[in-house]
């Protein structure tokens, strides 16, 4: 006898679990900074639970070998396999630019102000200098891999627009410069979006917002492959003895 699993039901239950958690925060946490922190932690826990173990998820600053630092990023998806430096100072994390796959800002509402804010954060990360060195393996050496475009996006609970992804949304997204591009995002109670290569958007149904967002994000991460191996010698030049 063949047993079957209702995959749609499993996906929707995963989505409902996250919605319930965020709705509790929205109703019962009244202090704005505390509410923002609680929502960020919920998203970090969600992605940390469902993404494969190779992906780490944290709030952090991102730095490059010149000492240039991004603004603080609400949610960073990164890999420590070939870029092992993650500095933690007084509870604040600093992650090397080479380690980063994706970055997100987490806000309460999808609107013009928050899109522009997330776009500025994306630009501050994409402007950092990333290194890439050969990787030695049992059969020889892999050449340095080209750095990829870091995925950037915006995660919100709701949208100030109705419809959420209509003309106002598309107009403001169309004004963003290349380094400010937002590739993916969601308004959890309204829908998710994915920017396509031709500049148009794939939009989810309201009922499948979180599932669409997660699957499309995971696909983008898979397509990036592995982060480049950082040039540790360049970072170590900050030391007097090297």
- Residue 239's pLDDT band (cuts 50, 70, 90): low
- Residue 34's pLDDT band (cuts 50, 70, 90): confident
**Burial tier of 112 (Cβ tally within 10 Å: 0-12, 13-18, 19+):** middle
Q: Cα(209)–Cα(188) distance, rounded to whole angstroms?
A: 6
Q: Cα(105)–Cα(163) distance, rounded to whole angstroms?
A: 21
Write down the pLDDT at residue 126: 97
| 3-state DSSP percent of the chain in helix, strand and coil, to 5 | 40, 25, 35
Q: Is residue 204 part of a domain?
A: yes
Q: Cα(17)–Cα(198) distance, rounded to whole angstroms?
A: 34
- Mean pLDDT for 8-32 is 78
Q: Tell me, what CATH number does 152's domain have?
A: 3.40.91
Residue 1 reports pLDDT greater than 60: no
**Residue length of the chain:** 242
DSSP classification of residue 185: E
Q: Cα(180)–Cα(167) distance, rounded to whole angstroms?
A: 19
Q: Is residue 139 part of a domain?
A: no
Residues tagged active-site: 74, 105, 107
Q: Is residue 33 part of a domain?
A: yes
What's the pLDDT tens digit per position in 197-229?
A: 999 999 999 989 998 999 999 999 999 999 988
Write down the pLDDT at residue 5: 76
Q: Is residue 192 part of a domain?
A: yes
- Mean pLDDT for 7-24 is 81
- Mean pLDDT for 94-111 is 95
Query: Which domain range does residue 111 map to?
Result: 8-131+146-236
Tell me if 217 sits within 8 A of 191, measured CB to CB: no
Tell me if 231 sits within 8 A of 158, measured CB to CB: no
Q: Is residue 1 part of a domain?
A: no
- What pTM did the predictor assign? 0.90
Q: Is residue 2 part of a domain?
A: no
- Mean pLDDT for 3-7 is 77
Q: Is residue 3 part of a domain?
A: no
Write down the pLDDT at residue 7: 78
What's the pLDDT tens digit per position in 107-134?
A: 989 999 999 999 999 999 999 999 999 8
What's the pLDDT tens digit per position in 143-172?
A: 888 999 999 999 998 999 999 999 999 999
Q: Is residue 168 part of a domain?
A: yes
Domains of the chain: total: 1
């Amino acid at each position: 006898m063949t047993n079957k699993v209702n995959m749609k039901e499993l996906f929707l239950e995963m989505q409902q679990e996250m919605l319930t958690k965020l709705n509790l925060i929205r109703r019962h946490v009244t202090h704005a900074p505390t509410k923002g922190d609680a929502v960020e932690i919920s998203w970090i826990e969600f992605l940390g639970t469902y993404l494969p173990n190779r992906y780490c998820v944290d709030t952090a600053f991102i730095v490059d070998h010149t000492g240039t630092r991004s603004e603080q990023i609400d949610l960073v998806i990164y890999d420590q396999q070939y870029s092992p430096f993650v500095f933690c100072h007084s509870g604040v994390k600093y992650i090397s630019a080479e380690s980063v796959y994706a970055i997100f800002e987490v806000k309460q509402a999808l609107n013009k102000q928050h899109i522009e804010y997330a776009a500025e954060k994306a630009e501050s990360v994409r402007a950092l200098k990333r290194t890439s060195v050969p990787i030695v393996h049992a059969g020889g050496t892999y050449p340095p891999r080209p750095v990829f475009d870091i995925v950037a996006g915006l995660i919100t609970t709701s949208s100030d627009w109705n419809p959420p992804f209509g003309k106002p949304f598309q107009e403001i997204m169309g004004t963003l410069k290349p380094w400010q591009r937002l590739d993916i995002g969601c308004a959890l109670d309204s829908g998710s979006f994915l920017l396509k290569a031709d500049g148009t958007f794939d939009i989810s149904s309201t009922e499948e917002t979180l599932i669409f967002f997660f699957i499309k994000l995971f696909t983008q991460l898979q397509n990036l492959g592995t982060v480049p191996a950082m040039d540790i010698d360049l970072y170590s030049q900050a030391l007097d003895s090297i």
